[in-house]
Amino acid sequence: MKSNDFKDKVTIITGGGSGIGEAMCKHFADKKAKVIILDNNEAEGRRVSQENKSDFIKCDISDEGSVDDAFNQIERNYDRIDILINNAGIAHIGKITETNPEDFDRIIKINVRGAYLCTRASINSMIKNNKGCILNMASVASNLGIPDRFAYSTSKGAVYTMTLSVARDYVDQGIRCNCICPARVHTPFVDNYLKNNYPGEEKEMFAKLEATQPIGRMAKPEEIAALAGYICSDEAAFVTGSAFDIDGGFTLLK
């Protein structure tokens, strides 16, 4: 099978209603996958699903009951899960002294518990079929010290090591698990952050953020989606337990 053909592969993408997740939905749908979007934002999730002729299930990935209901529905409708992409996540800005327990718990609940619950809910289907691919969205913050990102870095470090653990435990059952570690990506989150924190200075601050990447710009969501497409393809059948930096040279500075 060519890497650009996912014909009829049942592909679950969490957080598919915007940003990187939306780009992934389009990429996999264009390559003939049967895409199921899981998102807590029903309006955006349904919009993306309609635009890409995909299915949508409203799901709070941090809630065990919501996740189990969603995956049970997928099993009933499709009878298998081929690919799981744990993309959904949130960010937080601040050092440890600027991170209250509620902030910390919310980050861990979505970024770490969410990936755990979705992986746990899909793994038995993959074991039954003796094949499957799990892709986690980590970050350059998984293994670098990023200023003012205490809670976020903590959560992405956990996602990275979760990837290694799952890859190790299920390598002999035909299941691959990898993660992507992007630097800054131009998504609606970036635009909203600048709008809320630097009103009237958005263009100047955007230029400063882009300048932090040695390549001179942020990544495009479509570039992350293209890498995800390769990792989840049969052409990457020998790849598991790996972390893929896609950072415009950001790690070269560290």
**What are the tens digits of pLDDT across the range 128-171?**
999 999 999 999 999 988 899 999 999 999 999 999 999 999 99
Structure pTM? 0.94
**% pLDDT > 70, the chain:** 98
How confident is the model over 21-29, as a mean pLDDT? Answer: 98
pLDDT band for position 4 (50/70/90)? low
pLDDT at 197: 82
DSSP single-letter state for residue 183: -
125 or 209: which carries more pLDDT confidence? 125
Q: Tell me which residues are annotated as active site.
A: 152
10-183+220-247 fold: Rossmann fold (3.40.50)
Q: How far apart are CA 176 and CA 168, in angstroms?
A: 9
Residue range 172-213, pLDDT digits in tens: 999 999 999 999 999 888 888 788 888 998 899 899 888 888
Structure tokens at 134: 């799990």
How confident is the model over 82-109, as a mean pLDDT? Answer: 96
Extents of the domains making up the chain: 10-183+220-247, 186-218
How confident is the model over 82-99, as a mean pLDDT? Answer: 96
Q: How far apart are CA 216 and CA 225, in angstroms?
A: 20
CA 172 to mean position of chain CA atoms: 24
DSSP letter string, 21-40? HHHHHHHHHHTT-EEEEEES
| Residues 6+ away with beta carbon under 8 Å from 121 | 67, 68, 70, 71
Residue 26, CA distances (Å) to 21, 22, 155, 184 in order: 9, 6, 27, 21
Report the SS3 class of residue 43: helix
DSSP single-letter state for residue 144: S
| Residues 6+ away with beta carbon under 8 Å from 244 | 178, 179, 180, 181, 227, 231
